[in-house]
Amino acid sequence: MGTFIKSGEELIQLLILIILILTAIVLLFIVLNMYSVIHKIIAEKEGKTVEPFSFQKWWQKEAGTDVPIEKEEAILLHHNYDGIQELDNHLPPWWVKMFYASIAFAVIYLGLYHVWNITPLQEEEYQIAMEEGKKEVELYQSKTANSIDEKTVKLLVNDSKTVSGGKDIFTGKCAACHGQAGEGGVGPNLTDEYWLHGGSIHDIFKTVKYGVPEKGMIAWQATLKPNEIQSVSNYILSIQGTKPVNAKAPQGDKATAGVDSTNAKPVANL
């Protein structure tokens, strides 16, 4: 069974809450004691006898049962229903106090949530929590995105979001040399089985990242983030075998897409 305290900050908040509750209890006893002393002093000046505090009598009063049974005739109503008589008991004071307290709470709640809009409603709280969660996810992704390199890049050709993002990058930055469909142009055809610098996700990531300056392929590591290079690399692998119109003749060596040329072990099945 896991603890509900997940961090040192939450532990400190819990300790502060406990201290505040204990302080409130001590202050309550001090106020009650001061009230009792003041009440006793006033009663003595008026010549009245002050009875010591009794929890039982206090509770009987709050519960509405302070009239003893032997004196119930004083509050007996003068009607009879088949031998059943009724006492003229009022609502218990504790119940009346809670009723008034609920009215006060309702007025405050209405003002805070529906009049002045100081406190968000549940739906708004949900939206705020979702936005905060989204920001946390984006922050986490931004941190992990920068840790991707040619060794840790993942093959995600079945991830539509990754491939779609890679396609946008390819269209904007790579299509000028490799064609809109990857058919090749200034650069080689990217849809066939032939590769100049390896056809694994690791090879493609490395080629995009560092480029091949002697052949006119620029390095994109200063322009694209690591996760963007991963996306475009996966998009390139996703268009394998599409056979676009006017495809450029094969260049390089034949290699199975998804196989790491450095150790000839399959990275994933396409």
Q: Which band of pLDDT confidence, cut at 50, 70 and 90, is reported for residue 202?
A: very high
Answer yes or no: do 107 and 181 share one domain. Answer: no
Task: Give dist(CA 189, CA 196) in Å, integer.
Answer: 10
User: Is 87 part of any domain?
Assistant: no
Average pLDDT of the residues in 192-214: 94
User: Is 59 part of any domain?
Assistant: no
Q: Which band of pLDDT confidence, cut at 50, 70 and 90, is reported for residue 43?
A: confident
Task: Give dist(CA 201, CA 217) in Å, integer.
Answer: 17
User: Is 23 part of any domain?
Assistant: no
Higher per-residue pLDDT: 208 or 85: 208
pTM flag (> 0.85): no
User: Is 36 part of any domain?
Assistant: no
User: Is 3 part of any domain?
Assistant: no
Q: Which residues contact 216 (CB under 8 A, 6 or more apart)?
A: 177, 186, 187
Please, are residues 204 and 198 in contact by the beta-carbon 8 Å criterion? Answer: yes
Structural domain including 115 reads 92-125
Residue 265 has pLDDT above 50, yes or no: no
Residue 178 has pLDDT above 90, yes or no: yes
CATH number at residue 210: 1.10.760.10
Answer yes or no: do 117 and 197 share one domain. Answer: no
Answer yes or no: do 258 and 172 share one domain. Answer: yes
User: Is 155 part of any domain?
Assistant: no
Using the 3D structure, point to which of 125, 147, 178 is the last residue of a domain.
125
Question: So what's the pLDDT on residue 7?
Answer: 59
Task: Give dist(CA 24, CA 30) in Å, integer.
Answer: 10
Sole residue written with tokens 């204990």: 22
Using the 3D structure, point to which of 107, 125, 143 is the last residue of a domain.
125
Q: Across the chain, what does the average pLDDT equal?
A: 84
Residue 166 has pLDDT above 80, yes or no: yes
User: Is 56 part of any domain?
Assistant: no
Task: Indicate the number of domains in the chain.
Answer: 2
Higher per-residue pLDDT: 82 or 229: 229
Using the 3D structure, point to which of 125, 140, 169 is the last residue of a domain.
125
- DSSP E strands in 67-172: the ranges are 76-81, 84-87
Answer yes or no: do 102 and 185 share one domain. Answer: no
